[in-house]
Every structure is written in structure tokens, then in C-alpha cells.
Structure 1
Amino acid sequence: MAKKSNLKVGETNTHIVSWLKNYATIAKVNGFVVGISGGVDSAVTSTLCAQTGFTTWCIEMPIHQDSSQVSRGREHIEQLQKRFPNVKHAEANLTEVFETFKKAVPSSEDEGKLNLSLANTRARLRMSTLYYFAGIHGLLVAGTGNKVEDFGVGFYTKYGDGGVDLSPIADLMKSDVYALGAYLEIPESIQQAAPTDGLFGDSRTDEDQLGASYDELEWAMLAAEAGKKATDFEGRNKEVFEIYSRLHKINQHKMNPIPVCLIPEIFK
């Protein structure tokens, strides 16, 4: 469980739901589509969308998925459908599509790069699937990234789970998401589960990949925003701050707008 949040959860819930309703109304769409992973971020996002009264499609997209992630996601969807009649559910098993893709492209002797590229491919296949559902039902793809992931360490796949129409929880720290999840009464199994992106088909957690917990990264993000430097800390704090700083720097290409080569007016 993440550290204690000072978020005013009731007011925040009302604010986000109102924001989603206004955006959908102005965009003249039928509702939202959310990829369900079995994690707290997608559970909170889908619950917020469901509260709008607009149609909310919850899509499961397993690719050699760990059974615990599947069961948590299914538990959440079943609970959500009991609470909200506007919630719909579909499963698109992408395992065969993923395996076909692997056969169509060359392999690599660099196992590390190969595994990472295939993990990102999973996320991009899922993005394409969500936009398929969005297209045929007139929906917006709701992102599930939180502030630490999206603007801190860039822990998402470019044009994968980063490819969305709007981001309801991207201004919330991970601890805020947990607080909101408890308020929304999402399943306890999800609240207690170790965060994982589920992109490698094994049990590795986000902390295993990042080298620090979300509690630690949240602390480092706030410290960096306050102007602190690695030399201000010692021991584990220094190590975590350096992890955060390195990830924040190398993942700027995800957070910044796509570079455009501007042509001088005299050439036109």
C-alpha cells in the first residue's frame, strides 16, 4: 500500500467525474473505453468513467497474462457492472496476435533489447485494440497513467499505454490513486497487489523494473520539484534520487512534444 495521501478524495472524485462528463459532452462521444489490467490505476480510472453515466467499456486484453492479474481484473469488472448499468465488458485475447507478430519480424541476439521491444509491442497492440473499440462505439480512450509514471519517470510505452485521448488521473500521485481507490471501494485484492505493468509475462513488479518503490519515487519527484539535488542526500535517499533523476532525464522524449523541424520562411 502506498503512503498516506492528503487528498480530499470526495471532492477530487466529484471534480474528475465532472471533468470527464464535460469533455465527453463537448466531444460528442458516447462514452469511454478503458483497458483493465488488474491494477489500481485502471480500476480507479474505469470507476471514475463509470460514474459519469456515459457508456464505459472495460476491455481485458491478455497476452500470456499471469492468472492473478486476470482474476483481479475480472473481479473488478464484475463488481463495477453490479454498481453501474452503463458498464460494458469485452475480452480481446491478443496472445495469438502477439505470437503471429513475433513470427513476422526478425529476432535479435541481444536478449535484453529483444525482451523490452516485445514488452512494448504488447502495450502497442493493446493501444490499437482500445482504439478499435473506441472507433466502432464512438468512445474516447481513457488513460490510466498517474503523475509519477507520466511526468516523473516516464514509466509507460510511447504509443502504447501512453497513446490515449484524455488522462483522468495523471495529476494524481500514486498515493493519491490508492486513497481514491479506497474511497471508491475497488476490490481489496487490487488495493493490496504489488503494482506491475504485466508486459513481460512473469511476476516482476514495477519496483523490480524501476529499482525503487512508488513511495520512494514520489518522494524523489517532490524533492526534485523543490530544487533538491543528489548531493543533498545520503544512503538510500541519494540512491533513489539518482534513480529518479536518471529516468526523468532519459524519458523526456516521452513527455515532451514530438520535435518538428521548422523550415525557414525564406525556403518557402
Structure 2
Amino acid sequence: MARRKREPMSEGKKNIIGMLLEEYDIKSAKDIEDALKDLLGGTIQEMLESEMDEHLGYQEYERSGNPDSRNGKKTKKIRGVKDILVICADGLTGMKEAVSAAFPQTELQRCIVHQVRNTLKYVGEKNKKELANALKTIYHAPSEDAALETLDRVTEKWEDDYPNAMKSWYKNWDVISPIFKFSSDVRKVIYTTNAIESLNSGYRRLNKQRSVFPSDTALLKALYLSTHEIAKKWTMPLRNWGKVLGELEIMYPDRLG
């Protein structure tokens, strides 16, 4: 490929270079680097401040001990999740402590589906269906006291054959039991993590289609578009949602606005 012919430098450019050489006493490549930093630093700072003010909704403030400060700025309005009524989660180690630290008023509910799976992994194939039906009588119980009585009966029946199967119910009872505070309509909303697992499954399908992304921004854009497509399927309202909302407003006054 032929090298493009360089055009002669104009007088204006020559004068600018001459002024820079004289102003910064440039004698080496390091002097040129320092001069460029001095010239462009202020301009870049002004551009960043304009971006923060006009596009991201940030404003300047005097430094203080404010925990919401970011890079010498603070938000005009604190964003993000402020409160959660109930979190349904699997048995991930540290989840209970993390929820308690971040949202001390939040109820942590163990996913019943995960709890049942954890139980049945200790059971032989020929007995899985029978024990699964017995477990339903525990988490379908009308109250916590009734559930504990049923738990004892189920454990007594099966512990000789499968001594490890029911241990996790007693160990995790503090995070299994919150569900008994609610009616059956609310229980159907909070008893499983299937909804978020379905969303994660959609993200995994995206990853199978393309496992390498040129940048973090490209990945975020792909996840955003994937979420947008998945959300199109969320057309069915929750059954008896009005009743569910009314019960939650009674149980958690002043927390639903």
C-alpha cells in the first residue's frame, strides 16, 4: 500500500508549535508528555464534570463522611432497593447473614422446592414419591405448630430407613417457618425461587449462543436486550394478587407505599 503523501504544515500550525516550544521549554519526549497533560487535563476535567451534571444526575459537594459519596460527588437522590419484605432463597452459605446485615427487617424464606430436593436426594427411588407427598403435608400445614407436629410424624416414620433425610428440616426450621405466617395465596408467591431461576436460564441460553464478548459494556448490553425479550413473556398476573397485596399491607404496615 502506498504511503499517503503528507501535506505541508500550515503557518498557523507552525506558529502554535513554536509557541508551545517556547512556553513549555520542550527539549525531550517527557517534556512533550507533560505539556499535553497540562493542556488537556483541564479540558478533560470540564468534560467529565459536564457528563456527571447533565447526564448522570450528580452534583458537586464538599467532602464529608457521607457514605453515599462517590469520586468527590454525591447523588441528587439515593437510588436502589430500600426495603424488601420477604426474600426467598436457596441454601447458599452466608445468605442468612447477608440479608440480616443489609435488610434487618426482611424475612428470609428458604425455597421449599430446594428443601424438598435436598431431602429426596437421600431417599431411594422406590420411596421418593411417597415421601414427597408426606413432605407436602408439612409445608401445606395451616400453622407452624401443626407443621412441627407433622414434621415429627414424618421423621418418625422414615428415619430408620433414611436417617439423614429429615435432619435439614430441623436445622433450617428458622428459615422454613416464616411461610406459615401467610395464607395459601401469599405462600404461592414466596415459596420458591423458580421465577428467578427461569430468568437465569434465559441468560444461560444467551451465553451458549455467544461465549465471548469484546468488552464488559457489550455483555451488559446483551444482558439488557435478553432481559427485555424475556420480560415479554411476563404477561400473566399473579393469581389473587389483590388479596395477596392486601394481606401484605396488613402484615407490613407503612412499608408498602
Output the TM-score relative to the length of structure 2.
0.24
Of structures 1 and 2, the one with the larger relative CO (CA 8 A, separation 6+) is 1
